[in-house]
Structure 1
């Protein structure tokens, strides 16, 4: 192959290489933004808890969070080891249930996220979520949040 043919082949390859990202960028679609809303923190089983909802369009994902309620007392073994039972539930206000998730978790000092309830809801509705945590000799005092779904 002569030099002119090699140059032409290289130039054609470079044009194809640089043209591909432009075509790919034009094909990119926009996605709906996710809005996270959390309720007020509560004290359950000696731990700080809250319930949150991620809303993207008409999709809702509910989750609970468990964290330390404050600094550990002097002489407390570290990391703490608290076994808890959790209940996460959600429903559309005046409508259908999104479900309930119950489970067992072990809190060891780091913030713990409890997932398990999600769904698609009608635009303009409100989702009510509840998160309860109980440990031995400590009953739950569920935390809640109401979230509007604006599409």
Structure 2
């Protein structure tokens, strides 16, 4: 092989190696949903789901009956004034957003939200959903999700 061809082949190979790592990686933009499907709060099941797509984060909570009524319990149950709060925070950082809503819960499952926020790549979002119905104390449902970009 001539010296010119060897230099050309070497240059082409070096260029191929050089540019192989330059192409930008495609970000995984398919939404990923993480849920805490069973959490008792104020005598209710209060699941929380968090959907992440890129840097967009969406929180949705639900209020549902925790189980079938006890024998002798009046049906339907009495309506309950319920205060709800969806909140998203950066772990080790600040609040990304909070949404409060007052609802009347009786027996049908209620969906609360969504609360839509944006988080920086590489952070972890701590999502919480709490309800308060007198005389019960709230114990928020929580989900932590990484923001991988």
For normalisation by structure 1, the TM-score amounts to 0.72
Residues 60 and 118, structure 1, Cα contact 8 Å, conserved in 2: yes
Aligned partner of 2:130 in structure 1 is 132
Residues 47 and 69, structure 1, Cα contact 8 Å, conserved in 2: yes
Aligned partner of 1:65 in structure 2 is 62
Q: List per-residue Cα deviations over 1:31-89 (Å, max 9, x = no partner).
A: 93221111252211211112221111110011211111011122333333222111111
Coordinate RMSD, CA, aligned: 1.9
What is the rounded CA distance, in whole Å, between the counterparts of 2:143 and 2:32 in structure 1? 14
What is the rounded CA distance, in whole Å, between the counterparts of 2:130 and 2:39 in structure 1? 10
Q: Secondary structure at the match of 2:47?
A: strand
Instruction: Number of aligned residue pairs: give it.
Output: 121
What is the rounded CA distance, in whole Å, between the counterparts of 1:135 and 1:108 in structure 2? 12
* Residues 1:91 and 2:89 aligned together: yes
Question: How does 1:11-50 map onto structure 2 within 5 Å?
Answer: 32-39=29-36, 41-50=38-47
Structure 2, unpaired ranges of 5+: 1-27
What is the rounded CA distance, in whole Å, between the counterparts of 1:120 and 1:134 in structure 2? 27
Q: Secondary structure at the match of 1:87?
A: strand
Moved more, 75-84 or 94-103: 75-84
What is the rounded CA distance, in whole Å, between the counterparts of 1:57 and 1:79 in structure 2? 43
What is the rounded CA distance, in whole Å, between the counterparts of 2:34 and 2:75 in structure 1? 31
Among candidates 27, 50, 55, match of residue 53 of structure 1: 50
Q: Could you list the structure 1 runs, at least 4 aligned residues long, displaced by more than 4 angstroms after superposition.
A: none
What is the rounded CA distance, in whole Å, between the counterparts of 1:79 and 1:36 in structure 2? 33
Q: List per-residue Cα deviations over 1:4-49 (Å, max 9, x = no partner).
A: xxxxxxxxxxxxxxxxxxxxxxxxxxx9322111125221121111
For normalisation by structure 2, the TM-score amounts to 0.72
Aligned partner of 2:98 in structure 1 is 100
